[in-house]
Amino acid sequence: MVAQLTRRRSLVPLAVLVALAAAAVFALTSIASGDDGDRGGARYKVTITNITRGQILSPAVVATHKSTLDPIFQLGAPASPEFAGLAEDATLAPFAQMLEDSSSVAQVITLTGAGGPILPGETASAMITTRGDADQISLAGMLVTTNDTFVGLSGVDLPRRGSVRYVSAGYDAGTEANNEDCVFIPGPPCGNGGVRDTAGAEGYVYVGNGVHGIADLVPAEHDWHNPAVVITITRVSGGNDD
């Protein structure tokens, strides 16, 4: 049984949370992204639009890679510890580093909004490259006013020309209980990252079922109806088949 904890609603302003998240992701970008110039392959523009009403999306980790890369997440399967950090607290660095360390990965970037996180209604874009037979893309980011909900793509084919458009549901990582208690939630109005409640976690990735108002979160403000984001991938240049 989950221990009863005293709930406390953080007074951390949204602007402060956005600024802190922006600083963290810019530090990560300088370490993990590397040069986004042409690395001998095609260049792609990745665009994410947050179509929720009240969920802020963390910066997204994006990777181009070969088909030999293990799925970054898989419905019905457990999430990796590195991915759990992204889904629970928008902790991007361990997951990005795991991708960087794979010989199947061509490039890793972080895709940010104007202030770091991608706000409701905001569209954000970034450029990424690929090379050789790295012809797939994966990405993920957290819906921050949840326990462990994320959006993403896992191992989809890059377009050989033009654009391809995807929509992503909010997926639950299954690594933390969905108690909706501010003690365990990093985004506004809570501001409590790095605190986990694993008792009762489902243990596998599944399609998230939203916010129900069982504790501190208010469905009218924080719930969403899938899909949660629109993702567009556009081939810009490069390769031998232009």
The CATH number assigned to the domain with range 14-235 reads: 2.60.40.2130
Distance, in Å, from the CA atom of 138 to the CA atom of 64, rounded to the nearest integer, reads 7
The pTM of the full predicted model, rounded to 2 decimals, is 0.85
Both tokens of 81, joined, read 């510890």
Q: What confidence score (pLDDT) does residue 22 get?
A: 42
Q: What confidence score (pLDDT) does residue 31 get?
A: 34
- Asked if residue 227 has a cis previous peptide bond (ω within 30° of 0), the answer is yes
Domain-wise residue ranges, the chain: 14-235
Give the mean model confidence (pLDDT) for residues 161-190. 97
Average pLDDT, the chain: 87
Q: Which contiguous run of DSSP H or E holds residue 164?
A: strand 163-168
> What b-and-e string marks burial along 215-240, b requiring 16 or more CB atoms within 10 Å of the CB?
ebbeeeebbbebebbebebbbeebbe
* Backbone angles phi and psi of 157, in degrees to 5: -75, 140
Q: What confidence score (pLDDT) does residue 108 get?
A: 98
Contact 78, 140 (CB under 8 A): no
Q: Distance of alpha carbon 187 from its chain centroid, rounded?
A: 14
Of 13, 147, 117, whose CA–CA distance to 56 is shortest?
Answer: 117
Q: Which residue in this structure is represented by tokens 């933390």?
A: 176
Q: Has residue 131 got a pLDDT over 70?
A: yes
Contact 50, 121 (CB under 8 A): yes
* pLDDT-based confidence at residue 232 (cuts at 50, 70, 90): very high
- 72, amino acid identity: I
**229 contact partners, CB below 8 Å, separation of at least 6:** 48, 49, 50, 51, 52, 57, 151, 167, 168
* pLDDT-based confidence at residue 6 (cuts at 50, 70, 90): very low
* pLDDT-based confidence at residue 23 (cuts at 50, 70, 90): very low
Of 223, 49, 21, 240, whose CA–CA distance to 151 is shortest?
Answer: 49
Distance, in Å, from the CA atom of 128 to the CA atom of 126, rounded to the nearest integer, reads 7
Give the mean model confidence (pLDDT) for residues 137-151. 98
Of 47, 31, 187, whose CA–CA distance to 108 is shortest?
Answer: 31
Tens-digit pLDDT profile for residues 70-103: 999 999 999 999 999 999 999 999 999 999 999 9
* pLDDT-based confidence at residue 41 (cuts at 50, 70, 90): confident
Q: How far is CA 30 from CA 34, 102, 109, in A?
A: 7, 19, 9
Q: What confidence score (pLDDT) does residue 240 get?
A: 55
